[in-house]
Structure 1
Amino acid sequence: MARLLPRRFRVLLRRHGPEALIWRRRVALLGGAVLVGLVALVFADLADRANLLFHAMSARVWWAPLIVTPLGFAGIVWLTNRFAPLARGSGIPQVMAATKNPEAAVSTFVSARAAIAKFVLTAGALLVGASVGREGPTVQIAAAIMGRMHRLMRIPIRSSVYIAGGAAGVAAAFNTPLAGVAFAIEELAAAYEQRMTLLVMAAVLVAGMVSLGLAGDYIYFGAMRQTLGFSQAIVAAPVAGVVGGLAGGLFSRLMLASGSTPFAPIAWLRARPVLFALGCGAVVAAIGTATGLTWGTGYETAHGIIVGEDVPVWFGAAKFATTLATAVSGLPGGIFAPSLSIGAGIGDLLRTAFPGYPPGAIVLLGMVAYFTGVVRAPLTAVIIISETTASRGLMMPLVAAALVGDFTAQFVCKEKLYHALSQRFLKQPA
């Protein structure tokens, strides 16, 4: 009996001690989630500083963007293609592609090189005035962090690791934990597995708590307390859903078509990515210099529209053009924040059609409908808008507008944007 005790002790230690798989998995999850929250905060601060520097430059020398922006686009695309081609674009399609082969993806779609390049080059894109957001890149960076932590702890990597990381990235980027969970269900996981639930929830909550603890309990766009009556909602929500859904579907259709069209001039430019990026940068520079409102994420303008500030009627269309030009150029950068800004512009147009309705509420309907039309994830769109504006009293009208927007967008673009882009990554050599 005495001779068996040490062996039993070793077995228990192996199963339940600090080297046990279950403990290593918990360390990887919690450590990765904490790191995601910290990196997301640093990334947000760097992106904001880059955006402010560009605005300061353009305010001081109005013609500087006409030179800096096109050359910046060309330079960043050259760097991306030369050193980290898997860092181009949003980052969400790469995470979707990574779930198809989780073990190999830690060295390709969500590698340390791709994550570092995404971090630096997205900030660089904002520094030259590109119409990009940091939320999509945060998803790829977060998935890379979670994958690397599991690799360091010698844990087998499953697709749920990247899904949890991406969800934590959304939660930390927007300070919206529920949106992170919804995003994991609707977008990152084609078939949501029950066993992922605890992993996703834990990663989202830890990353969210880190962000909340360091950045404070802030609401991304500020609190908006306006609501709609029943009779107002049944009129405004469907109209906003149709208009926003059509516009969002058009954006997705044009973005996907730019990478596959047989139209000779576009195909010729696509074969010369640096030259193509130079042209896209020229478009962004020309519109931005002429309007002064379409640079960067568009957060300030969207916030102003929500609280009732006047913007020109063409803002939504101008931001649409600069975001599309940026998105197809091949720059690293996301479309979440610019899409919300475009949606605010659409909402601003809609509120002129409903003069007796609460204007802020109409703007939010335009935002949720357009965002849904682009990403085709109505649950995520509703929760993001609700959490970033504290507009829980508008939940049902937001849901109605999002569902109508999702249905309407299908008539313009049948493919879901991120899923179609992820398939292109899978078909290309890493």
Structure 2
Amino acid sequence: MIRLTALGAVTGLLAGAVVLAFRWLIEASQRAFLPGGQLGNYEALPGWAILGLPVAGGLVLGLFFERLPEHLRSVGIVHAIQQLRHTGRPNLPLGNALVQFFAGAFAIVCGHSVDREGPGVHLGAATGSWVGGRSDDADSFTLTVCGAAAAIAAAFNTPLAGIVFVIEVLGVRYRVDRFIPVMTASVIGAIIAQLAYGATPTFELASNLQMVSNEEILLLAGLGLVTGSVAVAFIALTEASWRLGGHLRPSLAFTLAGLATGLTGLAVPQVLGISYDTLNNILNNHLGLAALLALIAGKLLATGISVGLRVPGGLIGPSLVIGGALGGVLGVMVQSLAIPTSSEAFYAVVGMLAMMSAVLRAPLAALMALLELTANPNVIFPGMVAVVSADVLSRQLLGRESIFEHVRRLAEVRPGERVSGDDGGHAAESSSRQGERDD
């Protein structure tokens, strides 16, 4: 136990450092060429660059992938899930991690509507897999999980959410003796992030976020239902794009993803890149109703197509942006009601985490992130109302699994074959078997 906890600490340190190096590469590259040296300032580019940058980047990235051996093209959270749930011993090769590191950064810098957190989970898990290379199967599994948890903790400065994330999203079975190392890694990952960027939250949040009247419960439930519906559309678009991408060469698939992003960016330039600068504008009430609606449609299209066509980036960040914009729309609309209502930022924050929950099938991770990002327990109850509504609609009523489970199943099917129905039972069974090996 002491040895495994010590290795978990080492994994947290290394995974946090790798994730921060990945973030530094992206930010340094953006500062080098974006107008004013401002992160995410794609909207200041001329129209030809807004269209041409993601297209050219997609073509270059696709040609690079075509020259890679097939086994090195497997990257992202889905790659980590496949290894953790469906193999006796997780094996995330450093070669795939290197591809993820540089290709993921290149895609984001070129404006593709993907995030750094998805690649970060792969990088963290690969770090843990490397640390546990000489350990037995159970310890190697635990250290791989340590790396993934540390990656989420370092990305958002949310150690609790990192721990719950690996349970809900990666399907890891909870056991106290195995999760002490995971907790250690997650805490150290967050410490590494704080040493590099300070203890301030990832997003610019007001300190007085809270529900001010009971009438808002219905509004929050409605926000959850709308968010759940949008999450279902997002998953469906990603799945359809993934099916198409299975028939295309990487150069064509990535170029089409860049074209979709560039054309969308001509109308809504804020969709390019991770869009966290735009999310901060939403949280500070700087976007009007029309801009919010355009951002929702544009971000959903650009991200769903890009992720579906296998661009090596993640979708956690775009989900937060879409959810924040949905909450922002409600926040703008309720200001005209005759009842006391909370601020636009309050609804935006709740929308962010409701969308995250509905897309990732991770309600507890979303609530933990909500608590840690706001440092405000007053948001938990309203957050639960929206998260439960979104989760019930997107999963129970409409039968939608996690977006990663959809993509994982599609990734295991050759073009032309049909995907079987909901295999959630199989996934749970595989996770349970892995948990039994951990015993």
> Which TM-score bucket, shorter chain as reference?
0.7 to 0.9
After superposition, the C-alpha distances for 1:152-197 in whole angstroms (9 at most, x for unaligned) are x555454322222111110011111011011022111253334322
1:236 aligns with 2:219: yes
For residues 387 and 150 of structure 1, the distance between their equivalents in structure 2, rounded to whole angstroms, comes to 29
2:19 paired residue among 40, 57, 60: 40
Q: How does 1:187-206 map to 2 (within 5 A)?
A: 187-206=169-188
Structure-1 residue corresponding to 2:429:
none
2:384 paired residue among 386, 399, 407: 399
Q: How does 1:127-276 map to 2 (within 5 A)?
A: 127-151=109-133, 153-156=134-137, 157-224=139-206, 225-260=208-243, 266=244, 270-276=247-253
For residues 238 and 282 of structure 2, the distance between their equivalents in structure 1, rounded to whole angstroms, comes to 26
1:67 aligns with 2:52: yes
After superposition, the C-alpha distances for 1:108-162 in whole angstroms (9 at most, x for unaligned) are xx210111111111110012110111111111101111111121x5554543222
1:415 paired residue among 401, 408, 411: 401
> Percent of pairs identical after alignment?
25
Q: Is the Cα–Cα contact under 8 Å of residues 340 and 367 in structure 1 kept in the other structure?
A: yes
Structure-2 residue corresponding to 1:320:
300
Q: Which amino acid aligns with 1:315?
A: L
- Going from structure 1 to structure 2, the CA distance change for 1:337 and 1:222 (only over 3 Å counts) comes to same
2:78 paired residue among 80, 85, 93: 93
For residues 34 and 13 of structure 2, the distance between their equivalents in structure 1, rounded to whole angstroms, comes to 32
For residues 84 and 112 of structure 1, the distance between their equivalents in structure 2, rounded to whole angstroms, comes to 14
For residues 237 and 100 of structure 1, the distance between their equivalents in structure 2, rounded to whole angstroms, comes to 35
Q: How does 1:324-343 map to 2 (within 5 A)?
A: 324-343=304-323
1:76 aligns with 2:58: no
For residues 300 and 120 of structure 2, the distance between their equivalents in structure 1, rounded to whole angstroms, comes to 22
For residues 87 and 253 of structure 1, the distance between their equivalents in structure 2, rounded to whole angstroms, comes to 27
Q: Which moved more, 1:346-355 or 1:51-60?
A: 51-60
Q: Which amino acid aligns with 1:94?
A: H
For residues 346 and 88 of structure 1, the distance between their equivalents in structure 2, rounded to whole angstroms, comes to 34
Q: Which amino acid aligns with 1:228?
A: M
Q: Secondary structure at the match of 1:414?
A: coil
For residues 70 and 374 of structure 2, the distance between their equivalents in structure 1, rounded to whole angstroms, comes to 35
1:345 paired residue among 325, 339, 342: 325
Q: How many residues align?
A: 397
For residues 89 and 230 of structure 1, the distance between their equivalents in structure 2, rounded to whole angstroms, comes to 49
Structure-1 residue corresponding to 2:286:
309
For residues 71 and 77 of structure 2, the distance between their equivalents in structure 1, rounded to whole angstroms, comes to 11
Q: Which amino acid aligns with 2:223?
A: A
For residues 31 and 303 of structure 2, the distance between their equivalents in structure 1, rounded to whole angstroms, comes to 18
Q: Which amino acid aligns with 1:351?
A: G
Q: Is the Cα–Cα contact under 8 Å of residues 150 and 190 in structure 2 kept in the other structure?
A: yes
Rg (Cα) greater in structure: 1
Structure-2 residue corresponding to 1:8:
none
1:298 aligns with 2:281: no
Structure 1 gaps of 5+ residues are 1-21, 261-265
Give 1:212 shift. 1.8
Q: Is the Cα–Cα contact under 8 Å of residues 132 and 323 in structure 1 kept in the other structure?
A: yes
Structure-1 residue corresponding to 2:426:
none
Structure-2 residue corresponding to 1:18:
none
Give 1:386 shift. 3.0
Structure 2 gaps of 5+ residues are 36-40, 415-439
Q: Which amino acid aligns with 2:24?
A: D
After superposition, the C-alpha distances for 1:348-393 in whole angstroms (9 at most, x for unaligned) are 2212331152211111222222222211211111222332233432
- Going from structure 1 to structure 2, the CA distance change for 1:85 and 1:348 (only over 3 Å counts) comes to farther
CA RMSD of aligned residues (A): 2.4
Q: Is the Cα–Cα contact under 8 Å of residues 54 and 126 in structure 1 kept in the other structure?
A: no
Give 1:79 shift. 2.1
For residues 301 and 87 of structure 1, the distance between their equivalents in structure 2, rounded to whole angstroms, comes to 33
- Going from structure 1 to structure 2, the CA distance change for 1:192 and 1:81 (only over 3 Å counts) comes to farther
- Going from structure 1 to structure 2, the CA distance change for 1:87 and 1:372 (only over 3 Å counts) comes to farther
For residues 331 and 84 of structure 1, the distance between their equivalents in structure 2, rounded to whole angstroms, comes to 17
Q: Is the Cα–Cα contact under 8 Å of residues 55 and 256 in structure 2 kept in the other structure?
A: yes
Q: Which moved more, 1:113-122 or 1:212-221?
A: 212-221
For residues 30 and 338 of structure 1, the distance between their equivalents in structure 2, rounded to whole angstroms, comes to 30
- Going from structure 1 to structure 2, the CA distance change for 1:304 and 1:88 (only over 3 Å counts) comes to farther
For residues 221 and 32 of structure 1, the distance between their equivalents in structure 2, rounded to whole angstroms, comes to 26
Q: Which moved more, 1:44-53 or 1:357-366?
A: 44-53
